[in-house]
Structure 1
């Protein structure tokens, strides 16, 4: 009987899993990967040899690590989202002006992915890093994007993933989150009230391209005692809006 489900290639799944293991561990040997995957050493060796031939991994003695080709791949992907030089400059400038941590991210498969990061002089260290994927419902960038997406897309994302409680302040009730997204849309920016990391508050604002298509978001994160409601509404929101506008205007000519 015909089916609309595409045929999946198990070997490709295994190759992707090997790449993920190398990303997580930095480097690993055949035996280590074999045990992790419960896969034969000879099969792992075959996958690694192929990846090495393609220039995607590098063999160093008895271990392997991802190659620098992934940097080129990553830059190409980021360029598809927005002009990376403009994004990088606005993220850096916003970090200098606010003194806090600034991120630019985009939604992919229902998650927010960090694409750029810069730290101001007063910034506190966070666990965020380029390429890291985070939930949409607990982050200011995620909520900012959800508030601007078409309702059916927002609904699909919220149904796809459980609203996991990351802190005691995380919104885990779908109806409450939808109310929060309505408020976010009305005021033009989202607020993460220690919903993702205890002690850290953030303001997030969606960034849109031609025809109001949302392609990313900016955020400013800092300690709760500095990220007060007054500072967010009467200072930071305007600075973030200015940076978002520069990215939006430049995206029209990319």
Structure 2
């Protein structure tokens, strides 16, 4: 959208909601300080959002309301890849004992849309709806590997290659080499590039062969994700699941 057509009040409303979500509830003064806006202005926005039932007020703390739960359910219901991938992701988590997940691309970032934990899975900050830079994850690199060089350049131009850990790839040429290797072997490897100490194998979901609709992965601590399990068994399991998902997606 062109800058001249952007509505500042709408952007402020969205930033207020995002701030309340990030802070897990906040008062007027905290939100105003976070956004650098007058308290009186923020108060007017909050009253409007509360009156329309998008916020609730708990004493002096504002929180997002359950109205967003309905919006989230609507998104889940229309996201076909999520419905199709869920059984395979659940099975991956159960068979490996680790965390299995599905990520899709939106606005040139990755968005986690489904996760399932096996009985040994470690706790990570990934959750449905969380956004992440594509180059920082195995899932994101799997998706990037299916795009053209020009498309990857567009994403880099928009978001850069910010570092999350010492292992994050922050050089364009190195990333392009990594993506070429990913295409050749059919799966992406995350060597602690978003979360230190966590390894991941990810495979793109590309039913049409033209543009990926997402990627699936299994992640776990490097103390367990190593050796033959990391180099052979896990890639085979995730690739097999991705193949099933692509077939089911194609004929759904």
Regarding TM over 0.5, the answer is yes
2:112 — aligned with what? 114
SS in 2 for 1:226: coil
Matches of 1:83 and 1:168, distance apart in 2 = 33
Greater displacement, 127-136 / 199-208: 127-136
In the alignment, the residues of structure 2 paired with residue 154 and residue 183 of structure 1 have an alpha-carbon distance, to the nearest angstrom, of: 15
C-alpha deviation, 1:80, in angstroms: 4.0
User: Normalising to structure 2: TM-score of the pair?
Assistant: 0.90
Matched residues in 1 for 2:189 and 2:81: separation? Answer: 26
1:61 shift after superposition: 2.9
Q: In the alignment, which residue of structure 1 is the partner of 2:195?
A: 197
What SS does the aligned partner of 1:222 have?
strand
Alignment of 1:9-158 (within 5 A): 9-158=7-156
- Residues 146, 80 of structure 1: CA spacing in aligned structure 2 closer, same or farther, 3 A cutoff? farther
- Contact 2:205/2:215 (CA < 8 Å) preserved in 1? yes
By how many angstroms is 1:160 displaced?
Answer: 2.1
- Residues 128-175 of structure 1: per-residue CA shift (max 9 Å, x gap): 222222221121001000000133211211222222232222222211
| Cα separation, 2, equivalents of 1:5 and 1:44 | 23
Q: 4+ residue runs of structure 1 moved beyond 6 angstroms?
A: none
2:206 counterpart of 1:218: no
Please tell me the root mean square deviation across aligned C-alpha atoms, in Å: 2.0
1:200 touches 1:221 (CA, 8 Å); kept in 2?
yes
The 3 A distance-change label for structure 1 pair 138 and 211 is closer
Structure 2 SS opposite 1:214:
coil
Task: Measure, in 2, the Cα distance between the counterparts of 1:122 and 1:62.
Answer: 40
Per the TM alignment, residue 6 of structure 1 is displaced from its structure 2 partner at its CA by 4.0
Please state how far the C-alpha of 1:200 moved relative to its aligned partner: 1.0
Q: Distance in 1 between matches of 2:245 and 2:132?
A: 22
Q: SS of the counterpart of 1:137?
A: helix
Change over 3 Å in CA distance of 1:156–1:80 after alignment to 2:
farther
Q: Distance in 2 between matches of 1:76 and 1:68?
A: 13
Structure 1: any 5+ residue segments left out of the alignment? none
- CA distance 1:73–1:252, change in 2 (3 Å): farther
What are structure 2's unaligned runs of at least 5 residues? Answer: none
**Residues 248, 81 of structure 1: alpha-carbon distance in 2 compared, 3 angstrom cutoff:** farther
